[in-house]
Amino acid sequence: MADRDNLAPMMRMNGLGNKILVIDMRGRNDKVTPKAAMRLDSDPDTAFDQIMALYDPREDAPDGWIDILNSDGSMAQTCGNGTRCVVEYLHAGDGRSHFDFRTIAGRLVADHFGDGRISVDMGPPEFAWEKIPLAGTPGDTTHIALPEPHEGDPALQRFSAASMGNPHAVFFVPRDVESYDILNFGPRYEHHKMFPERANISLAQVTSPSSLSLRTFERGAGLTLACGSGACAAAVTAARTGRTGRKVTVYLPAGALEIDWREEDGHVIMTGPAEREWAGSVDPETGDWTRAWLQP
């Protein structure tokens, strides 16, 4: 049973089916604990891909600091779909349309357009070997041979790497991404010795000069319906290797994201929807929770 004296507001949301819990920790001195995260994920009603824990504004974060927790209780550096959910949560509360947040990965600026679309400036990608980071002898991150790849398919033996504040390995495949058993090899690749901080593992199929289809096994969360930073990483690595232009539509299992890798400043702008499902309250120490209302 939740301790009603210690409850924080919680909103169950989704970004293209990516299951998000926004926990409003503003005005408090405590934190959402890994124990609470694992407790929430163990309940089918609150199982999630990421928790977005929103803390008080500060000088370098005018609209709040965001801690991002994975379903295994570990911390993530960034989550584009989750950021859109935080924007929708705050916009519904006071009608604001422009937001400036911080996470452990840096600044996140976002805009709510009022028509269901929300854009997030994910910042510039990082392609340097040691900053992604990758283990082994540094080399060209556009085409990397994976040592001990575990899989016989040549398409699953070479990848492009990028960081969007978190490490991504993108395997460009010649056929439908759904035809590959990513649930089988995804966990092994996530923990491959080449990825000292683990990695998000994505399969990307180029379907036109301006479109990709994508499936992602997310670090610390597993197979997901939509990974925003994964869509950004796939888009920039596709453009960087000459497979697409810099503006693409990325088709995910639950919908599409528009990705624009701007030439003028190198920033990656991700645009897509976010949806409120139901509101409740949670004990940020234990993860015990109650539900307040269901979205009609």
Cα(237)–Cα(246) distance, rounded to whole angstroms?
A: 10
Beta-carbon contacts of 93 under 8 Å, excluding residues fewer than 6 positions away, are none
Contact between 261 and 2 under an 8 Å Cβ cutoff? The reply is no
201: DSSP letter: E
Burial class of residue 59, CB neighbours in 10 A (0-12, 13-18, 19+): exposed
Which 3 state secondary structure label does DSSP give 116? coil
For 148, list phi and psi in degrees, rounded to 5: 50, 65
In order, the DSSP letters of 129-166 are GGGTT--SS---SSSEE-SS-S--SGGGSEEEEEESSS
Cα(195)–Cα(159) distance, rounded to whole angstroms?
A: 12
Amino acid at 276: R
Q: Is 85 a catalytic residue?
A: no
CB crowding 234-258: b at 16 or more within 10 Å, else e? bbbbbbbeebbebebbbbbbeebbb
Which 3 state secondary structure label does DSSP give 110? strand
Q: Is 79 a catalytic residue?
A: yes
Contact between 180 and 168 under an 8 Å Cβ cutoff? The reply is no
Beta-carbon contacts of 252 under 8 Å, excluding residues fewer than 6 positions away, are 16, 17, 213, 214, 215, 216, 225, 226, 227, 231
Active-site entry in 68, 69, 79, 233: 79
Task: Please state the length of the chain.
Answer: 296
Active-site entry in 16, 52, 214, 227: 227
Catalytic residue numbers read 79, 227
